[in-house]
Structure 1
Amino acid sequence: MTTSKKVLCCSVLLFISSYFQSFAQDHTVRPDASIIQQHINVLAADKLKGRGTGSKGLKKAARYIEKEFKKYGLQPMGTRSYKQPFIAKVKRVVVKDSLRKANNIIGFLDNGAPYTVVIGAHYDHLGMGKQGGSKHPKPEGLIHNGADDNASGVAGLLELARYFSGNGAKEPYNVLFIAFSGEELGLLGSAYFVEHPVIPLQQIHFMLNMDMIGRYNPERGIGIGGYGTSSEWPSVFEGLDTTIKFFTDNAGSGGSDHGSFYAKQIPVLFFHTGGHPDYHMPSDDADKINAKAEAGIIDLEIQLIEHAMQKEKLPFTEVKS
């Protein structure tokens, strides 16, 4: 074989090898129902005792999230490694530990871009029913595992971190991943973050929030809030390829962490599969999660994020009541 033929042959082989490696990488980082279920099984296990703010169980959940962030190569962006500490005040009940130490967990995917997408989900829940908020008539002493609320959202957060850190592409925006604490006590973690941001708020492209995305009902579909918070959202939603049924709502405020960002005039999207009888009950357990449908929801989110990344920094629109 001549030298030129050898070079051509090697080039073809390298191209084929690169193609299949790229294909394999793209395939492996798609949202995976088994990984989603694994995350939820860990976070909603009885041994975490409901992940109440300030509890040992929530600290275990934080360590799990930090370990996953580190595995995906995210840069620590808290003031203490991945942790952003703050004091959470329990407002609903007066107990000796009304002031509790809490931490947001923050990881950064640095693409060298001037602007950043924020992706968030809260990882706290109601603990042993003593902090208030339970729908059970006698909640104290009962483990509220919070599989849907909001281990499902944290699983989505971790899957998006896995995708964007491992898809082989350098996106035109950075991505900041935040697991918020103190949400169940009144959006305390996200409220603290927007007052003590680790990047300037003016550099945020938009914020995507996941709270209860694990109980998909195909008759209802998933609700996507915040559609009215930027004039560009309608064009971002064009050309989606999904079997997931969804509907949109204009509101940017509401009872979850995206509301803290909307109040700072940042466009938001909010994903929620709807209420159910297990909401804020001890029966919100991991075996009731529809992980396959959640994988489809996360894939829908990936499409929306990637569509939005093809646009200039999104303008904010205030939603009229």
Structure 2
Amino acid sequence: MNHRTIAFLLLLATPLFAQEPSADRVKKHIEKLASDNMKGRGTGSRENAKAAAYIARQFRKYGLKPLGEDGFYQPFTAKVRRVVVPDSLRKAANVIGFLDNGAAQTIVIGAHYDHLGMGTQGSSLASNPQGQIHNGADDNASGVAGLLELAQYYAKNSEKEPYNFLFMAFGAEELGLQGSRYFLNHPTLPLDRLNFMVCMDMIGRYNPERGVGIGGYGTADAWPEVFQGVTAGVKFFTDRAGNGGSDNAAFYAKQIPVLFFHTGGHPDYHKPGDDPEKIDAKAEEEILRLEIKLIDNALKLPKMKFTPVQ
């Protein structure tokens, strides 16, 4: 076999390997979204719009279909209730990409991309937040990196799955789940076509003693079957509740089954110290591999039946 043949075979094989979750790409996405140049991605800021554009570019590169109201974007106006500066209305947008497998039902995978900006929109836990960049590497550049990795994985998968996928980066989550609630009140895909929703919020600071928490285990009758026999390169545990934590709560309120992935709180939560160098990208890669196992198990089952959690 000559070197040209070997190079050609490697070229053919590259997409197969490239679709797997990658710690290097996770790190790259987080460093882009949570750099000081992004100034904390505060809702309504120029940098928040740049983050949305970055996500849209990735969706386009993966070959996803735009399913916003303006290409990949679903614009809306966010209201700021606790604010240090006087502008109480800000432009925001969800970024929505659709993987159309010709199926009747769709799985939603989501993460919010906004954070606290320069500490002037409220919610910071720093003693003097104004003027300080809140990078939000874990909250929630880590979740967006996971969203992009899963979008690439399923978009580049050689096999067509029996469900469609709706990949959504939500705006204005830090202001009260406003992006996800806006989508659910103005859906670009009928809600009765949604099977379940997977939410990632703060999956970048894995603690091996705690493990990754997976909420929403009680929101569908099928989740125990989905989890049966699943092992992972990270420790994990389940929680039945589905109505807290992040944008998953908005979907739960619409009686859509959810799973919510979260590596837990830390001293840098909602503070300027939530920086990219503190992210455990290798552990996040393993969390994403766990998510793929669970999603793939769910792909084998009929549409889930929502069950409320008491």
Q: TM-score range by the shorter chain?
A: over 0.9
Q: Does 1:177 align with 2:173?
A: no
Distance 1:25 1:57 in 2: 31
In the TM superposition, structure 1's runs of 4+ consecutive aligned residues that sit over 4 Å from their partners are 19-24
Out of 96-105 and 155-164, give the one that drifted further. 96-105
- For 1:176, the aligned partner's letter is L
Whether the 8 Å CA contact 2:73–2:93 is kept in 1: the answer is yes
Q: Does 1:32 align with 2:22?
A: yes
Among residues 258, 272, 280, which one is paired with 1:282 in the alignment? 272
Partner residue of 1:83?
73
Whether the 8 Å CA contact 1:229–1:319 is kept in 2: the answer is yes
Partner residue of 2:92?
102
Cα offset, 1:76, TM superposition: 0.4
Q: Does 1:254 align with 2:220?
A: no
Unmatched segments (≥5 aa) in structure 2: 1-8
User: Secondary structure, in 3 states, of the residue corresponding to 1:87?
Assistant: strand
User: Secondary structure, in 3 states, of the residue corresponding to 1:140?
Assistant: coil
Cα offset, 1:24, TM superposition: 5.0
Cα offset, 1:93, TM superposition: 2.1
Distance 1:24 1:63 in 2: 27
Distance 1:239 1:47 in 2: 44
- For 1:224, the aligned partner's letter is I
- For 1:219, the aligned partner's letter is E
Q: Does 1:162 align with 2:152?
A: yes
Provide the aligned C-alpha RMSD in A.
Answer: 1.6
Partner residue of 1:232?
222
Partner residue of 1:47?
37
**CA displacement 1:245-289 (0-9 Å, x = unmatched):** 000000010131000000000000000000000000000000000
Partner residue of 2:205?
215
Partner residue of 2:3?
none
Q: Does 1:112 align with 2:102?
A: yes
Distance 1:173 1:244 in 2: 27
TM-score (norm 1): 0.92
Cα offset, 1:238, TM superposition: 1.3
User: Secondary structure, in 3 states, of the residue corresponding to 2:199?
Assistant: strand
Whether the 8 Å CA contact 1:22–1:168 is kept in 2: the answer is no
- For 1:127, the aligned partner's letter is G
User: Secondary structure, in 3 states, of the residue corresponding to 1:239?
Assistant: coil
TM-score (norm 2): 0.95
Distance 2:62 2:205 in 1: 27
Cα offset, 1:29, TM superposition: 1.2
Distance 1:37 1:222 in 2: 18
Cα offset, 1:97, TM superposition: 1.4
Distance 1:185 1:141 in 2: 19
Partner residue of 2:283?
293
Distance 2:228 2:204 in 1: 25
Q: Does 1:186 align with 2:176?
A: yes
Partner residue of 1:314?
304
Out of 92-101 and 48-57, give the one that drifted further. 92-101
Distance 1:255 1:231 in 2: 21
Distance 1:305 1:84 in 2: 26
Partner residue of 2:235?
245
Distance 1:251 1:24 in 2: 40
Q: Does 1:205 align with 2:201?
A: no
